[in-house]
A and B are shown apart, each in its own frame.
Chain A
Amino acid sequence: MPEALLSLTNVACLRGGRLLFEDMNLTLAPGGAAVLTGPNGAGKSSLIRVAAGLLRAAGGLVQRSGAAALADEGLALDPRLTLARALGFWARLDGGDAGAGMAAMGVAHLARVPVRMLSTGQRKRAVLARVIASGAPLWLLDEPGNGLDPEGLERLREAMAAHRARGGAILAATHQPIGLDDAPRILLA
Chain B
Amino acid sequence: MIALVLRELRLAATGGHALLPLIFFLLVATLFPFAVGPDGPLLARTGGGALWMAALLAALLPVDRLVEPDREAGVLDQLAVRGSGEEAVAVAKLAGHWLSFGPPLIIAAVPAAALMKLPGEVLLRLEIGLLAGTPGLAALTLMVSALTAGLRATGALAGLLMLPLAVPILIFGAGYIEGGGDAGALKLLLAVSLLLVAAAPFAAGAAIRAGRD
Q: Interface residues, chain A, CB within 8 Å of chain B?
A: 52-55, 67-70, 72-78, 80, 89-90, 92-94, 140
CB distance from B2 to the nearest CB of A (A): 11
Q: Is the CB of B81 within 8 A of A75?
A: no
Interface segment among B70-78, B104-112, B158-166: the answer is: B70-78
Complex alpha-carbon distance, A76 and B213, angstroms: 19
Known contacts A54-B212, A75-B73, A77-B73: A90-B80 contact under CB 8 Å: no
Whole-angstrom CA separation of A75 from B71 in the bound complex = 11
Q: Given A75-B74, A76-B73: A89 and B81 within 8 A (CB)?
A: no
- A69-B81 contact, Cβ under 8 Å, with A75-B74, A93-B3: yes
Interface residues of B in 78-120 (CB under 8 A from A): 78, 80-83
Q: Is the pair B7, A89 in contact by a Cβ cutoff of 8 Å?
A: yes
Question: Which residues does chain A contribute within 8 Å of B212, judged by CB atoms?
Answer: 54-55
Q: Are A73 and B74 in contact (CB under 8 A)?
A: yes
How many residue pairs, one in A and one in B, have C-beta atoms under 8 Å apart? 48
The range of chain B's interface size is 10 to 19
Q: Which of A72, A89, A94 contacts B77 (CB 8 A)?
A: A72
> Could you tell me the distance between the alpha carbons of A7 and B7 in the complex, rounded to whole angstroms?
34
Q: What are the residues of chain A within 8 A of B10 when measuring CB–CB?
A: 78
Q: How far, in angstroms, from A75 to B77 measured CA to CA in the complex?
A: 11
Q: How far is the CA of A73 from the CA of B83 in the complex (A)?
A: 20
* Per-position 1/0 for B190-213, Cβ under 8 A of A: 000000000000000000000011
- 0/1 string, B59-78, CB within 8 A of A gives 1: 00000000000001111011
A140 neighbours in B (Cβ, 8 Å): 81
The residues of A that contact B80 with a CB separation of less than 8 Å are 52-54
Residue of A nearest to B84 (CB): A93
For the A-B complex with A52-B80, A54-B81, A92-B3 known, give 7 more contacts whose Cβ atoms are closer than 8 Å: A53-B80, A70-B77, A72-B77, A76-B73, A78-B11, A80-B15, A140-B81
B74 & A74 in contact (Cβ 8 Å cutoff): yes
Alpha-carbon separation in the docked complex, A67 to B3 (Å): 19
